[in-house]
Structure 1
């Protein structure tokens, strides 16, 4: 198999760091971004020209375009673009500050959209490629206390559901990755936490806050295995439209979809009755 080149946002920690490490060990090339490039200095020292790193804050759209252009120019071709940068925001809707709402959407939604938009001209010019969007089981299923996080994941999945139809004629395929809970930094003090309101303390949102706020490491998902499955999915053709990872992702997504389908079936007569007659 020929050596592939990957563009990955957010490689300083979590799934992005693990993916970069596994790819480099396989002999593949990575153009990676991080808010603090020095955080991956050890990988650069170990792998040399296999790894190209640029500083990037994905809320800065002009910077996204510059970095994506530079990455394609550096390697000549990029086979897989991975939208990984993002974070979770914990808090009931009215607990969140205006600034937290804007930052969550700018990072998880606008940042992901603009990375895709910046990469598409290059992918079209080279005759195709693969886009991998790291979403979450929270892109199809929701829990209390994570309203803006879920909003961001549902939004970016909707964007890619449509975009993958737009770009299929150019041999560009898309996979939306939906991991369940995994033992990464998200659950160990990397999530942003809203100010607390006493009125939510004994509600489901308050229970979720108490679970996440101190950090926890009892999640079922093994992030190294998840990353391996993501990498191996690129060898599949056609590309899987979605990739659920983790027993909790399978269970929760199946439950949510089954419930929505049952509710839809229950509304069939109402839906049909609103058409014009004849």
Structure 2
């Protein structure tokens, strides 16, 4: 294990981000972590050493991100691993959510990560090395969760731009990994990390039923251990070859497998129709 690597973790005040920051510091890494409140983050992490740099960074402000990245590089001498983890869940069907609600979720979950990537890449290109771990969700691979459409779309976007990024930077010695967590026992499903629609519509039975399932059955019973997820991030980053797709949790793994099998069945069933659109030879 290379204890000298410098990590940047966004969205570190709670959940998987907080667990990862704590685990990294325990293992001797230098860590820059972002939150909306640096003092609160420092208190949550409980670490006062020079290897920890808590930062207040407005991820949706490109200039603020650029300033933060420059501070990290001047403090630690560089950045080796970036974990784009910041984001929040937005509940509501496509009809229920306003344009403003949808755009705000994209601003944080998608454009915030793009700002980080844009400002870290010049540093990575100069040294021809570096790794990105962009946190999507199993909802960024399997989208059939009623009432989660906009959130799903942000996480599919993360997966899509990360696939492109991996191809764009391959010859430079830089990697990009999509992380698809399942349900982990964090506060993601609690207020503050999950927002509801301002104007819900009663007709959406499936969406309301899934909300009740989350509130009454899933909260407190998530199968994923955040500390083990943190260990998985570190193990992946230290591997000789980094994966493009990384599913975290048995639930995420199983749901991904189920979708792949379903898509393969559709391909087989509609193969003739799919190929019927080609010009005749």
TM-score clears 0.5: yes
Distance 1:163 1:45 in 2: 34
In 2 relative to 1, CA 231–32 (structure 1 residues): closer, same or farther, beyond 3 Å? same
Answer yes or no: is the 8 Å Cα contact 1:93–1:147 preserved in 2: yes
61-70 or 83-92: bigger deviation: 61-70
Displacement over 3 Å in runs of 4+: 211-215
Shift of 1:222: 1.1
The yes-or-no answer on 1:39 pairing with 2:46 is no
Q: Is the 8 A contact 2:42 2:54 kept in 1?
A: no
Shift of 1:44: 7.0
- Name the counterpart of 1:199: 203
Show the counterpart of 1:123: 124
Q: Which residue of 2 aligns with 1:11?
A: 12
Q: Is the 8 A contact 1:88 1:186 kept in 2?
A: yes
**Aligned equivalent of 1:77:** 78
SS in 1 for 2:169: helix
Q: Is 1:258 equivalent to 2:274 in the alignment?
A: no
Q: For the structure 1 residues 6 and 185, does the alpha-carbon distance in structure 2 shift closer, same or farther, using more than 3 Å as the test?
A: same
CA contact (8 A) 2:60 2:115 kept: no
Q: Secondary structure of the equivalent of 1:94?
A: coil
Q: 1:236 aligns with which of 215, 236, 239?
A: 239
SS in 2 for 1:93: coil
Query: Which residue number corresponds to residue 218 of structure 1?
Result: 221
- Normalised to the residue count of structure 2, the TM-score between the two structures is 0.93
Separation of aligned partners in 2, 1:18 and 1:27: 15
Residues 256 and 45 of structure 1: CA distance in aligned 2, closer, same or farther (over 3 Å)? closer
Separation in 1 of the partners of 2:45 and 2:75? 15
Looking at structure 1, the residues matched to 213 and 88 of structure 2 have their Cα atoms a distance apart, in angstroms, of: 17
Per-residue CA deviation, residues 119-156 of structure 1 (Å, 9 max, x unaligned), is 11101111201111111111111211100110000011
Distance in 2 between residues matched to 1:192 and 1:76, nearest whole Å? 38
1:129-208 matches, cutoff 5 A:
129-142=130-143, 143-189=145-191, 190-195=193-198, 196-200=200-204, 203-208=205-210
Shift of 1:38: 1.2
Q: Which runs of 5+ in 1 are unaligned?
A: none
Instruction: Look up the match of 2:271.
Output: 268
TM-score (norm 1): 0.94
Hey, what's the Cα distance between the residues in 2 that align with 1:95 and 1:277? 45
265-274 or 124-133: bigger deviation: 265-274
How far does residue 188 in structure 1 lie from its aligned partner after superposition?
A: 2.4
Question: How far has the Cα of 1:27 moved from its partner?
Answer: 0.8
Match of 1:248 among 247, 251, 272: 251
Q: Name structure 2 gaps, 5 residues minimum.
A: none
RMSD of aligned C-alpha atoms? 1.6
Contact 1:137–1:179 at 8 Å: present in 2 too? Answer: yes
Instruction: Find the aligned partners of 2:115 and 2:122 in 1 and give their Cα distance.
Output: 12
Count residues in correspondence: 276
Bigger shift: 93-102 or 160-169?
93-102
CA distance in 2, matches of 1:100, 1:80: 31
40-49 or 187-196, which deviates more: 40-49
CA contact (8 A) 1:44 1:51 kept: no
The question of whether the paired residues in 1 share the 8 Å contact of 2:124 and 2:130 is answered with: yes
